[in-house]
């Protein structure tokens, strides 16, 4: 498996784990479970989504951005990353 595929698999595995947690959170809310317990699970799922996002962005920078810079068209890709980072910081 090449680097790109490995990183995609890591992100996909993390997203699937988050999906499982979100399904569990939905059940917790449907069962009227203790709010703090639900909140802790939401924070855990959020952390997994952030982890997957970082993995995907790292892959993008190591492949697409690097390729664009090498071919003289890096500024557009850099601008995309800056926009994503701005949203991430909100």
Where along the chain do its domains lie? 3-89
pLDDT in tens, 28-48: 999 999 999 999 999 999 999
pLDDT in tens, 50-81: 999 999 999 999 998 989 999 998 899 989 99
Residues 6+ apart with CB under 8 A from 36: none
Cβ atoms of 55 and 14 closer than 8 Å? yes
What pLDDT shows up at residue 3? 52
Count of C-beta atoms within a 10 Å radius of residue 85: 10
For the domain 3-89, what is the CATH superfamily, name and number?
Metal-sensitive repressor, helix protomer (1.20.58.1000)
Q: Assign 89 a pLDDT band (cuts: 50, 70, 90).
A: confident
Alpha-carbon torsion angle 61, 63, 64, 70, nearest 10:
100
């Amino acid at each position: 498996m090449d680097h790109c595929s490995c990183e995609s698999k890591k992100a996909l595995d993390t997203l699937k784990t988050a999906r499982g947690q979100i399904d569990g959170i939905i059940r917790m809310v449907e069962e009227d479970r203790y709010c703090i317990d639900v909140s802790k699970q939401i924070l855990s799922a959020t952390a997994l989504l952030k982890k997957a996002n970082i993995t995907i962005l790292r892959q993008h920078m190591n492949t697409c951005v690097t390729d664009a810079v090498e071919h003289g068209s890096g500024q557009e890709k850099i601008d995309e990353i800056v926009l994503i980072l701005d949203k991430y910081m909100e």
